[in-house]
Amino acid sequence: MRAIMVMFDSLNRHMLPNYGCDWTHAPNFKKLGEKTVVFDQCYAGSLPCMPARRELHTGRYNFLHRSWGPIEPFDNSMPEVLKQNGVYTHLVTDHQHYWEDGGATYHPRYSSFELVRGQEGDPWKGHLKNPDYPETESPDFFVKSNMFRQDVINRSYFECEDKHPQAVTFSLGMEFIKKNKDEDNWFLQLEAFDPHEPFFAYQHYKDLYPHEYKGKHFDWPPYYFVQEGEEVVEHGRYEYAALLSMCDHYLGRVIELMDKHDMWKDTMLIVNTDHGYLLGEHGWWSKSIMPVYEEIAHTPLFVWDPRVGKKGERRQSIVQTVDLAPTLLEFFGVPLPENMDGRPLRETIQSDQPIRESALFGFHGGHVNITDGKYVYMKAPVSPKNEPLYEYTLIPTHMRKLFSPSELQNIQIQEPFSFTKGCQTMKIRAGEEFTNPFQYGSKLFDLTTDPEQKEEIEDLEIELKFIEKIAEKMRENDAPKEQFERLGIPENGIMTVEELRQQKEAVRKAEQLNILLDNLWDKGAQNQIRALLNIIPENVRQDILNKFEEFVVSSRFNEITTEVVEKFIDVSIPKEEKEKAQYFIRLAGRTN
């Protein structure tokens, strides 16, 4: 038996024809849907990139115990477990986070690996002289960053398509398949960084999406609320679509290779992603700094299992990233390690047999989200400081750097969790890596009547049911006790309507956004103010709100719109802080 996983990054479900999109050009994804089972209720678990990959290896939720980080010494890594049981595992990827501090323990888990350089500011080619920068809509603060500079340099080496990292990655992956097509017991993870931003694609892919655009270069949205005009936003979506079509092209080459060598009879194929991406929906770009809307959490998934033989069918059971490790282990007949949150998908592929009632997902320190496919509930912290919050690790690294000495001054030793194989871990207070979801509040959406999540609903009884379910799943994951405290829920999950009502009232008083009547705000303006509050120190937050209230009252605005907030930032925030307030770009360098 053989297995191939084709994994993309930031692959948007709502931009694929398999899930109802009628304007993107993705014929090979259409073909893929005819050759596999398509999952309609697949959700991410831990976000973003490396937390999702830790889940892919371990079959366990990552986000309740730590943020972005490596495979830990006590983790059961799926490709390594396969390797130890006689299955050859090979990784080909251009996902540059694997060779940064926060991801450097993943690729050695495979039998062999090939790393392709040059994506998204990867410190690859060394140029001392500054390159010629394009005139761009990207924020000035970001354009001045080392990552943007390096990306401009890297692109100069992709003058033809066959030199692009995605093209090289797929070429190497297909080379492995051709070399080993007659061998048995191997797993290939062919992993592309695209269509993650920046949306760099070649002209013949852009020509698929003709549109008038007279603005500056724009293929790298900021991690912030949308401030650009509709023309720029539309262009950004087309740039993403062009890169998506490039991904579709290379996916098609894998399908053709499997057809040519009749590999469907004994080779599993999984096509998946880590998460989605916001392209202006809900007034936001990107991910990581806003609530985890459906566009981010609800992901595409395609699976062909040759033992089952089902294709061209759809499945409605809820599945998650954590299910992929046990699915591959079971496929190769390898016993599952203890403490996996995921379950093998064989029976779900066969007959849509459910493996869970709900899916839990989120960022470390963010909302803890849960969905049953009908509703989604986002439980926010109850404290403005989003505390208590700790990291549990034996390898203290962030995305692109080690933990600082100051972060390690007062570490505690945590007694073993159920999944750490008797190992104690360092317990480290969470620091600057985290945004604060408190200002967004808890949210409940009815996905049946409001799939685009435009209107929050109030239903305390539904919230209480989800709170009980969140607590249950957190207990199953052996979540740290302070996570319950942070969310304001008891460990048994049992609360009364009155207790929840009182908690909501206390949160509203602490939120500090009720300085003006709610009906004066539009959603975009609320996003802007909340984003601003999330990047300024908590001890000056009230002062900023007081100044904003004075600004609105003295200017006699009848409605608080995005234009009002932008004008306030322009006239009231010091220049040295303005770019940070406007673009949140410091975070953009850490939360890909």
What pLDDT shows up at residue 354? Answer: 98
Lowest mean pLDDT, pick from 227-231, 250-254, 523-527: 523-527
Answer yes or no: is pLDDT of 49 > 70: yes
For residue 519, the model assigns a pLDDT of 56
Answer for the pair 398, 68: CB distance below 8 angstroms, yes or no.
yes
| Identity at 460, one-letter amino acid code | L
The pLDDT > 90 percentage for the chain reads 80
The residue ranking higher by pLDDT, 229 or 483, is 483
What's the mean pLDDT in 299-308?
98
User: Would you state the structure tokens that stand for residue 564, as one six-digit string?
Assistant: 């009002």
Distance CA 304, CA 321 (A): 16
The two tokens of residue 294 are: 């459906």
Nearest to 531 by CA among 85, 287, 224, 258: 224
Confidence of residue 515 (pLDDT cuts 50, 70, 90): very low
With beta carbons less than 8 A apart as the criterion, state whether 583 and 222 touch. yes
Residue 466 has pLDDT above 50, yes or no: yes
Cα 131 to Cα 151: distance, rounded to the nearest angstrom: 10
Q: Model-level pTM?
A: 0.90
**What CA–CA distance (Å, rounded) separates 276 from 279?**
10
Number of Cβ within a 10 Å radius of residue 351: 11
Question: Model confidence over 276-299: pLDDT tens digits?
Answer: 999 999 989 999 989 999 999 999
**Is the per-residue pLDDT at 543 higher than 90?**
no
Give the residue-averaged pLDDT of 122-128: 97
Q: What is the mean pLDDT of residues 12-19?
A: 98
pLDDT, residue 112, reads 98
Give the model's pLDDT for residue 304.
Answer: 98
122 within 8 A of 566, measured Cβ to Cβ? no
Average pLDDT, integer, range 252-256 = 98
Identify which has the larger pLDDT, 588 or 28.
28
When mean pLDDT is compared across 30-44, 396-410, 557-571, the lowest value belongs to 557-571
What is the pLDDT at residue 584? 41
User: How far apart (Å, rounded) are the C-alpha atoms in residues 46 and 60?
Assistant: 9
pLDDT tens-place string over residues 371-425: 999 999 999 999 988 999 999 999 999 999 999 999 999 999 999 999 999 999 9
Asked whether the predicted pLDDT for residue 541 surpasses 80, the reply is no
Report the pLDDT averaged over residues 153-179. Answer: 98
**With 70 as the cut, is the pLDDT of residue 517 above it?**
no
CB 12 within 8 A of CB 240: yes
How much is the mean pLDDT over the chain?
A: 92
Neighbours of 352 (CB within 10 A): 15
Q: Pairing between strand 375-379 and 112-115? A: unpaired
pLDDT of residue 579: 54
Per-residue pLDDT at 590 exceeds 60: no
- Residue 588 pLDDT > 50, yes or no? no
Name which residue leads in pLDDT, 205 or 571: 205
CB 548 within 8 A of CB 588: no
Provide the token pair at 489.
Answer: 């829920």
Q: Does the structure show a pLDDT above 90 at 520?
A: no
What's residue 536's pLDDT? 66
